[in-house]
Structure 1
Amino acid sequence: MALYRLPTGTYTTRAAFAVTGGSLRDKRDFAATAVLISHPNGDLLIDAGFGEHVAEHIKMLARMERAPYQRGRTASQQLDAAAYDRSRLLGVLVTHVHWDHVSGLDSLRVPVWINKAELRYGAGDSHGAVFRAVSEGLEIREYTFDGPEYLGFPASFDVHGDGSVIVALAAGHTPGSVVVFVTLPSGKRYAFIGDLTWQMDGIIRGAERPWLLHRVADVDAGTVRLGLRRSIALSRALQVVPAHDVAAFDSIPLLPSRFPSVPR
């Protein structure tokens, strides 16, 4: 079992629009990075990053949501460059359906792992327009939170049944947004918290999104605040990774030039 990061690009915004107390002079690069969880029972990507048609996806956003962006290789291209065996890939487990987490589904064309509340949000909300476009024709693997509270989050889903990959309901940012907990055989533990905070400022100094961005970006700011506090507490015991902080992914290796084959 192992983790690999697949950076697909970044987009740029001002820190003042990312975290409370941020400066208008401080420009932040927001990561669009997928993470591959390699597991003997089958692999999963956490989110999909930018896709082949990211320029078209950005045009689907409200004008105020568009930002300058830098495109890298898609997750699909990176997997192919590493000679990755696609038969191992069970699908993409989305933390939530906003465009910068699902754009890459356009070239991966694999099953989407998602819960009912998030699927309903993606089907009907204006912020789900890109998701609806890129997921058309894809298999939807809907999971349920049939497990107990997990590390302070109210319900959970154990992907492989061995405790190595636990999906916990966070909600707040979107109705079905999740945190993905990964425990490696070495004992190293990660919490991929999606957009509970966009940058590590939220974990290090408890900085929330500015009030206006809470209103625009979150369906329930109070639930986001609670999830952020839980994540701050957990950061003492495991590595917390906000989806859009570039440096937060640094300790996770890139895909090797040739992906190792694993007996199945």
Structure 2
Amino acid sequence: MPPLAKPAAWTQPLPEAHPPADMAVYHLPTGTYETRAALAFRGGSFRDKRHFAASAVLVRHPEGDLLIDAGFGADVAAHVAMLPRFVRAPYRVGRTVGEQLDAAGYDRGRLRGVLLTHSHWDHASGLDSLRGTPVWMNTNERRYAAEDPDGKVYRHVSPGHEIHEYGFDGRSYLGFPSSHDVYGDGSVVIVLAGGHTTGSVIVFVTVPSGERYAFIGDLTWQIDGIRRRVERPWLLSRLADSDPGRLRQDLLRMIALDGLMRIVPAHDLGCYDGIPLLTPEAAAWSR
């Protein structure tokens, strides 16, 4: 199939953001699993093996830190065993988010919560190493996670976690009709992008240097979806996406923003390049 029609590039001013001087982001990789490009995006090759990232991102902010997603957990083998056989893939496990935080000497008391881009297993598994940390979800995703078969692992790891339910106001943000400004300073803004799951979100982050990130979850599994303007293969979309039409609309919104910010699909390992890892020195600075 041909690429999606190219949308008009975003030409309006970017939203104001006033990140505090000591705000920062860190990449916490927890492992990878193997998938063929042909199964990730239309036009991909079966000969092209992709190592899908299972990662979290730590956003440090003086008003309290957030994790975006949780990656693989300590009991990831059991979590994979809960999946239908046809979706299981070879995987490699690194240190959990909890282990990385502890190894860096990070004060977990700084964590306001784990903000899930959505509740699928490879984003929620690591909640098992983050006991006591609240989970941030919107109403749509909370309902999806409670009822959908793909929420099985989430339902297994979430007991004992307080759920912080956030909502969206009527303020549009970069073409998305509603948003939630986490800190009130424009540095972390969540928008609803409910095509993959009904409560999937994109998290826009602006750091003090002025660099902007868009952590887009599974809007597309690889950056090829943005750069080539292609969706998931038809069958995979029907299996994985709650509303393919809405997902296409949001994908086009992000394609229009390409070049204005760093777009990070959750599973594209190369898109995390340049985001620093959490070190003891960085953790000490945050205390």
**1:161 paired residue among 158, 179, 184:** 184
> Equivalents in 2 of 1:49, 1:159: separation in Å?
22
> Equivalents in 2 of 1:262, 1:9: separation in Å?
25
- Which one-letter code corresponds to 2:175 in the other structure? G
| 1:234 equivalent in alignment to 2:257 | yes
Q: Secondary structure at the match of 1:79?
A: helix
Q: Deviations over 1:107-158 (max 9, x none)?
A: 1111000000000000000000000011012100000112411111121001
> Equivalents in 2 of 1:154, 1:246: separation in Å?
29
Aligned to 2:271: 248
Aligned to 2:77: 55
- Which one-letter code corresponds to 1:149 in the other structure? S
**2:203 paired residue among 180, 192, 202:** 180
**2:226 paired residue among 175, 196, 203:** 203
Contact 2:139 2:166 in 1 (8 A): yes
Q: Secondary structure at the match of 2:173?
A: coil
Matches within 5 A, 1:1-264: 1-109=23-131, 110-258=133-281, 259-262=283-286
Q: Deviations over 1:210-244 (max 9, x none)?
A: 00011000011011111111111111211100000
Contact 1:91 1:111 in 2 (8 A): yes
Q: Secondary structure at the match of 1:141?
A: strand
Normalised by the size of structure 1, how large is the TM-score? 0.98
Seq. identity, % = 65
Q: 1:257, CA displacement in angstroms?
A: 3.2
Between 253-262 and 17-26, report the one with greater CA deviation. Answer: 253-262
> Equivalents in 2 of 1:114, 1:103: separation in Å?
15
- Which one-letter code corresponds to 2:36 in the other structure? R
> Equivalents in 2 of 1:145, 1:251: separation in Å?
31
RMSD, matched Cα: 0.9
Structure 1 residue runs without a partner (length 5+): none
Contact 1:147 1:158 in 2 (8 A): no
Aligned length: 263
Q: Secondary structure at the match of 2:285?
A: coil
Structure 2 residue runs without a partner (length 5+): 1-22
Q: Secondary structure at the match of 1:103?
A: helix
CA pair 214-154 structure 1, distance change in 2 beyond 3 A: same
> Equivalents in 2 of 1:146, 1:229: separation in Å?
22
Contact 2:136 2:165 in 1 (8 A): yes
- Which one-letter code corresponds to 1:68 in the other structure? P
Q: 1:56, CA displacement in angstroms?
A: 0.4
Between 95-104 and 231-240, report the one with greater CA deviation. Answer: 231-240
